[in-house]
Chain A
Amino acid sequence: GQNIDQPTEMTATEGAIVQINCTYQTSGFNGLFWYQQHAGEAPTFLSYNVLDGLEEKGRFSSFLSRSKGYSYLLLKELQMKDSASYLCAAMDSNYQLIWGAGTKLIIKP
C-alpha cells in the first residue's frame, strides 16, 4: 500500500534549527512535496524535490533520498510565525498526491 510517515508534533526554540523527517512508500514516484499550513488556512507550497539531494530556498531547505524513500524539511533561524503544520506529500505514478498526516511545529520563545 501507499503510506507517508512523519512525526505528529515537534517543538523548537525561536532562532534554532529544526528538521522534520518524512518517509514514504508509493506506487511509483513523481516527486516529494512539502506544504505549510497555518490553523484555519489552506496549505501553501514550500518545496518540491524529484531528484536526490538538497534544495535550498532561503531559510527552508528540503532533502530527498529516493533510494531510501526519505525526505526532510530543514527550517533555519526559526521565527514565531513558523509555528504551523508541515505536510509531506509524495506523488505517485498516477500523479496523485499521497498525504502525510502533518507535523505540528510549535516554536517557543
Chain B
Amino acid sequence: GAVVSQHPSRVICKSGTSVKIECRSLDFQATTMFWYRQFPKQSLMLMATSNEGSKATYEQGVEKDKFLINHASLTLSTLTVTSAHPEDSSFYICSARRGQESSEQYFGPGTRLTVT
C-alpha cells in the first residue's frame, strides 16, 4: 500500500512564531499533494494543492503569504504556518496523489497544531 507520513504529529508553539509541517510519500512518487485543515467537529477544508516543481494553488480565503507551501520533490511537501496565532490552532492533514489523473489519494496521519 501507499504510505504518507507527516511530521510532527503534534506541535505547540507560541503566538508569533512559525511552524513547519512536513508531508512525505514513503513508497511512491506524489506528483500532487494536498493540504487540508480541519477544525473540531467540522469537515476537511482544502487549503491548497501543490504540484511538484510549481507554485501551490490556494483555495479562496487561504492566505498564501501566511501558509507557505513548498513541494520541492516528488516525495516531500512542506507547509509553513508563519506568524502563527491561536486561531491557527487546528488539525492539518496532507494527502498525496500518485499521478495527475489518478483517483488514488492517500492521507497522512495529520498534525495537531496548538498556538498559545
Q: Report which A residues bind B (CB closer than 8 A).
A: 30-31, 35, 40-45, 48, 50, 85, 87, 91, 95-97, 99-102
Contacts and interface: CB of A to CB of B under 8 A. Distances in A.
Interface in B39-61: 42-44, 46, 49
B103 A31 contact: yes
B44 A43 contact: yes
A87 B43 contact: yes
A41 B46 contact: no
Size range of the chain B interface in the assembly: 20 to 34
25 contacts: A30-B103, A31-B103, A35-B107, A40-B91, A40-B112, A41-B109, A42-B109, A42-B110, A43-B44, A43-B107, A45-B106, A45-B107, A50-B103, A85-B43, A87-B44, A95-B97, A95-B101, A95-B102, A95-B103, A96-B49, A97-B34, A97-B46, A99-B46, A100-B43, A101-B42
